[in-house]
Structure 1
Amino acid sequence: MKTAFAMAAAFLTLAGCQGPDDGAQAPMDTQESQAQGCVSRFNGIQSCATGNAQLTATAEGLQVSGLANPQADGVASRFSDAQGWQQTTRMTLGQGQGRFSLAARDTDQVVSTLSVTPNSTGTQLALAPAFTGTAGGSSYRVNVYRDGVYQGGGTQEPAARVIIFTDWMGNVYMAWGFANIDFRHLPFPYAVRETAAPQTEVGACNWRMSLKGKTFTTLVNGQQLTGDTLELVEQIGDGAYPYRHFSGIDVKGSASGYTILNEATAQADGAQAR
C-alpha cells in the first residue's frame, strides 16, 4: 500500500436543515443499546461504539477498532445544544479502505449525511452529500478554496457526487466537523475561511473538507479547480425549519485504523458546549 501523511479537515455546517422521515434508520436507543461501551474522554462528549466497533482509551486518544461494516460499525458522539463540533482523527484511507459515512442528528432525526468513498487505487475520493431542506432532496453548491481564497464553484443536482483527485491517501490525519451557523462566526478551529464564496442561504446545511498542506483537483461544471478546502452547501427550498442546535454526530466506516485524537463542541458565542 502506498502511504502518505496528510492533515485534513472536513466540516459539516447546519443552519436550519429540515429533517427527513427517516423510517429506515434505526432509532437511537436501538443503536446505542448495541454499543460496545460509552466513554467521556473529550470535553464532556459521550462517545459510544455502534455495531461491532469497540472503543479503547490510549495515551494518544480513543482507538476505535472493529470497523468492518460501514453501515453499522463506528462511533456516535452525544452532547447537548451544540452549534459546532469537531473530531480530529488518524485513519487509514485509500487502497480499498476508509469508506466512511457521517450523519448529523437532532435527537433521533437525521438532518444531513455525507458519504466518503475512496477508489481502489487511492487516487480519488467520491463525496455524496444528502440534504433534506427540500422535498425530494436539495441541490447543492460546490465551493473550492485554496489558502482561504475562493477558487470557484457551481451547483450540483441532489443525487450528484463530487469526485476529487489526490495523491496523498494512506495514513491520514482528518478532522471531521459540523456547525449550524456560518464558519466565520465560530471560534478556532472552525473559523478557517479568509475569503468567502457566494453567501450561504439561511437554513442551509454545509459540509466542509479541508486539507492542511495538501491539495486536490476537481471538476465543477467543466471547470478544473485545485484547492485545499471543499464546501458542499445546501440550496434550500421554501419551508425549511431552522434548527437552533444539534445533539449528535454518527461516524461509521470500514478501516483498519481509526483513532480519535481530540473532539470538541462549541456554541455560537464561542463558549464550549457541554
Structure 2
Amino acid sequence: MPLRLPSWDQAYPSKARLRLEVSMMLESVVEALLGQLGEGAFVGIYAKGSALKPWDSPLDYVPELSDLDVQLLLHDPGLLDDLERALAVQADLERRFFRRAPQPLHLPRPQILVINRFLESPTFSPSPASVVQTLFGKPYAEVHPLTDREAVREADRWSLLEHAKPEDLRAFPLNFMDMPGKYLFHCLRQLTWRVGPTASRALSLLGSSFEEAWGHNRTHLVGRLEAAGQAGLAADYAGFYLCAWDFYRSGYADSEAARQAVRHGVRVLEAGRRLAQG
C-alpha cells in the first residue's frame, strides 16, 4: 500500500509564508555577497536544493533543517578564506533578512559553498539545470555541465558507501547519546546532509535517468522508491523528514520526535549502503 503522506494543511505553518521567507533569505544572501565582495569577484552565483523545488507535501521542506543551497564560483577561490570578509558577508545577509522579515516564522538556513575546487572532482556531480537558478554570472550549465551520465551513477554509488561508512554508523550512538532536548537538532543536522541525497542516489542505481533521479522533490522521490520495490527505504526516508517536522512544530521540545527521526535517518543510510554494495 502506498505511503499516505500528510497534506500541507492548517496543522503546519503557512506554506506561502515559509516560501516567501526563503525568497527573502535568498535575496539577502545575493545582495550581501555582491555588496561585500563586488560583482567582479564572481564567475557565477547559483541556488538549488529542496528549498527551491515544488513543495507538494510537508516532506519537501522542513523549516531550519532543509538547506537553501547557494554555490559560488569565484575568480579567486581563496577570497572567502579571510575571516573578517566572511563575517562581513554573514552580518550583512543577516541584517538584510531581518529588515525584510522582522518577525519571521522561521529562519531559513543558507548553505554557501565555493565550488571551484570541487569542479574537477569526479564525485562532485552536477544537478539538472532545470532545478538550478543562476542568480548572477555565467549560466550553470556552462560552468558545471553534465558530460558523463555513467560517471554520475558511479559517483552516486561511491557516495552511498562513503556517507554510511561502518565506522561512522558505529560512532552515531555515542555521538547522539549526550544530546538532550533542543540539542537533538544537532543530531538531525549530522544526518540530513547524508539522508537528503540518498533517495536520488538510490534511484540512480536502480536505473532511473539522471533527470528523474535528481530533478524532483522528496514527495515524488518517495513514490518512485515505492514503485521500484524499495518500500522500506521510502518509509524511513519520509519518516525522517516528517518526524523532524514534528520536532520543529513542538518548538524543539518533542524529544521523542527527534529520536524517531534519528532512527529513520540511520536506517536510510544503512539501506543506501546495502543497495550500493549490491
Q: TM-score range by the shorter chain?
A: under 0.3
Q: Taking CA–CA contacts closer than 8 Å with sequence separation of 6 or more, which of the two structures ends up with the larger relative contact order? A: 1
* Higher helix content, 1 or 2: 2
- Structure number with greater Rg is 2
Taking structure 1 as the reference length, what is the TM-score of the superposition?
A: 0.22
Taking structure 2 as the reference length, what is the TM-score of the superposition?
A: 0.22
* Higher strand content, 1 or 2: 1
